[in-house]
Structure 1
Amino acid sequence: MAGKFRASNLVNTLLVAVAIAALSGCAGTSSPSKTAGQGSTKSAIGGYKIGEPYQVKGVWYYPKEDFRYDDTGIASWYGPGFHAETTANGERFDQNELTGAHKTLPMPSLVRVTNLENGRSIIVRINDRGPFMPGRIVDLSRRGAQLLGFEEQGSAKVRVTVLADESRAVAAAARAGQAGVDVSRVSPDGAPVPMAAPRGVVQVEGAKAPVQFAERRPFDPSETVPGATVDGRFMPAAVVAAMPVRGAGRIYVQAGAFTVYENANRLRARLAALGDTRIDPAMVGDTQYFRVRVGPLGTVEAADQVLTQVIDTGVNGARVIVD
């Protein structure tokens, strides 16, 4: 009986250990996705991914292809705790490469990230989802934070701009599963380069010479972005450019943007108790928008606090911007 009792205890202990391990594997994180065993050395090429709408901490995000994306906000970085993990599109995260996580952009895509506080600018490959803190626009690898000069402080005011043609090319390469194939085999519109079938020449007596059409030229991101294709992935080189910036920029919490002034004014009045709330008009193309903003705010920490308060009122689309 004693032996049976000890065996039963051992089985129960093992079951508890398995349960704890399972729960720890499901633990949530506010950082980019972490889906593989840390320390794995297996190569992961990844693929093209947009993804369905998803919700984190009550906030909805809507991933989509947006090759005109150009926005400002606060950047953060991630590194040692996620090194060698699998990213959201199946690539292997390397904290020493120039990659990043974004909440809605397609993966992979190439973006220029500019530090608005010092003018440093780099190109990074977006291959992960995050950061899942509402007040952050992009999470860069540790190497990216080092090159932009904010590793120590942890965050920076940045501008994030999609490189349209380059992003179409790397997306098409990933979509086609072109592991080991140079992205120059992708045309500017993202389609595979067409190959004409061979055929004989037909000469018609008295006919004019046939009109010659230029071939659609394949596009290679390395023509415009320093970098190289490694294992089917185009990886930007560690090159820092100096970009002109208009000072460090002021931080605001933007609660919404409306085409009808009365709607913007109602939201402004609703948020007035949170601080200096204003309506800033802006033209986007041919459309007039009225942006409701709280601020300017003196620090990133103050912006985070106000953003939380705005979201708590039910305005889930609020975000931190730099202007």
Structure 2
Amino acid sequence: MGRWRRLRGAMVLAGVAALAACAQAPTVGGPGLPTSGIYKVGKPYQINGVWYYPAEDFAYDETGVASWYGPGFHAKTTANGELYDQNELTAAHRTLPMPSLVRVTNLDNGRSVVVRVNDRGPYANGRVIDMSRRGAQLLGFEGNGTAKVRVQILAEESRAIAAAARQGTPAPILAETDGPAPKPVPRSRIEVAGPAAGPTTNKEPSAGIVGKPVPPPTTVAGAVVEGRFVPAPVVAQMPVPAGHESLFVQIGAFGSAENVARVRARLAAIGQPAAVTATRTGKQTLQRVRVGPLDSVDRADAVLTQIIQAGLTEAKIVVD
């Protein structure tokens, strides 16, 4: 179920044998699958004690640390049956639909590109997205291996390429995507603000299956290559406000004072002081529990690992 890589090219393989099927030599998109890829959301899954909940989230907007993967996976099969090309603008994400389009902005230099999500991962050190080699080059972090980024889904464009992908998706896979939500999967007993367990039910199961071909998005530069819409290598320069590039490990955002106290106590037990700040989500005010700011990606990685090992597996690295 996708690929992952550790910083500067060392692959993380322990404990992920169940996911290795997609990191294999190409077999024309996998047995019975088109090379243009299928539409896939997927069921909740667990890697190294952490649960991930794929979902159609067309409001997705998150910050974190990006990594990239390249030569070791070039021309192999992605999690939705496409063939990975390290020179195209694609990416791996742990929960977003495949395919979907996201804008990734480097918060250190303001460089921004649109990429096609067609793979699962990354799973090392809480990375938020794994870029193709070309994506890392255009964002200016190929040499460093990581970058602080913002990832924003392009909602209407993602719906359009999803509809096109459904045309080539076998009925059993569409039925799995569009059918009843799977049985609940165990989550942390600590309340965490975020999407509900399990993928959302697709409300447009027949879109793009019959009738005329779905045209590619017109709001994003790109081309249809072997049946796939591939974003063009266009770099936009985005404004990045000064003073909003600090690293934190965020454990969660809570509406209950009891849960805030419980999390702070667990952090104190491992020697990590917590900062609590208010944040607005719609009409609701939540208390965000974080550790930081942290002075480097390496330090954030170490703190995240310690917190996850303490059982707070919903923790993640964010940039603010």
* Whole-angstrom distance in 2 between the partners of 1:112 and 1:127: 14
- Alignment of 1:300 onto 2:315: no
- Alignment of 1:125 onto 2:106: no
* Whole-angstrom distance in 1 between the partners of 2:228 and 2:263: 45
Residue pair 2:100, 2:117 contacting (<8 A) in 1 also: yes
Q: 1:173 to 1:41 in 2, by over 3 A?
A: closer
**Which amino acid in the other structure matches residue 262 of structure 1?**
E
More helix by share: 1
TM-score by length of 2: 0.77
Q: 1:1-323 to 2 correspondence within 5 Å?
A: 35=22, 37-38=24-25, 44-177=35-168, 191-192=207-208, 220-221=216-217, 223-247=218-242, 249-272=245-268, 273-323=270-320
* Whole-angstrom distance in 2 between the partners of 1:40 and 1:64: 27
Higher radius of gyration, 1 or 2: 1
What fraction of aligned residue pairs are identical, expressed as a percent? 58
Please report the RMSD computed on the Cα atoms of aligned residues, expressed in angstroms. 2.5
Residue 286 of structure 1, CA deviation: 0.8
**Which amino acid in the other structure matches residue 307 of structure 1?**
L
Residue 278 of structure 1, CA deviation: 0.7
Q: 1:252 to 1:164 in 2, by over 3 A?
A: same
Residue 263 of structure 1, CA deviation: 1.4
Residue pair 1:257, 1:290 contacting (<8 A) in 2 also: yes
Q: 1:170 to 1:145 in 2, by over 3 A?
A: same
**Which amino acid in the other structure matches residue 256 of structure 1?**
G
Residue 274 of structure 1, CA deviation: 3.2
* Whole-angstrom distance in 2 between the partners of 1:261 and 1:149: 42
* Whole-angstrom distance in 1 between the partners of 2:311 and 2:292: 19
**Which amino acid in the other structure matches residue 281 of structure 2?**
V
Residue 63 of structure 1, CA deviation: 0.4
* Whole-angstrom distance in 2 between the partners of 1:83 and 1:303: 29
Residue pair 2:35, 2:226 contacting (<8 A) in 1 also: no
* Whole-angstrom distance in 2 between the partners of 1:81 and 1:167: 28
**Which amino acid in the other structure matches residue 236 of structure 2?**
A
Flag structure 2 segments of 5+ consecutive residues without an equivalent: 1-12, 170-203
SS at match of 2:22: coil
Residue pair 1:33, 1:128 contacting (<8 A) in 2 also: no
| 1:76-96 residue CA offsets vs partner (Å, 9 max, x unmatched) | 000000000000000000000
Residue 276 of structure 1, CA deviation: 3.7
Corresponding residue number in structure 1 for 2:183: none
Higher RCO, Cα 8 Å, sep 6+: 2
SS at match of 1:274: coil
Residue 266 of structure 1, CA deviation: 2.4
| 1:126-169 residue CA offsets vs partner (Å, 9 max, x unmatched) | 00000011420000000000000000000000000000000000
Q: 1:193 to 1:52 in 2, by over 3 A?
A: closer
Residue 257 of structure 1, CA deviation: 1.4
**Which amino acid in the other structure matches residue 278 of structure 1?**
A
TM-score by length of 1: 0.76
Residue pair 1:252, 1:297 contacting (<8 A) in 2 also: yes
Residue pair 2:114, 2:231 contacting (<8 A) in 1 also: yes
* Whole-angstrom distance in 2 between the partners of 1:227 and 1:242: 18
Residue 29 of structure 1, CA deviation: 5.7
**Which amino acid in the other structure matches residue 227 of structure 2?**
G
* Whole-angstrom distance in 1 between the partners of 2:287 and 2:248: 15
More moved, 101-110 vs 270-279: 270-279
Residue pair 2:69, 2:132 contacting (<8 A) in 1 also: yes
Q: 1:191 to 1:87 in 2, by over 3 A?
A: same
| 1:4-46 residue CA offsets vs partner (Å, 9 max, x unmatched) | xxxxxxxxxxxxxxxxxxxxxx97669x866354477878211
SS at match of 1:71: strand
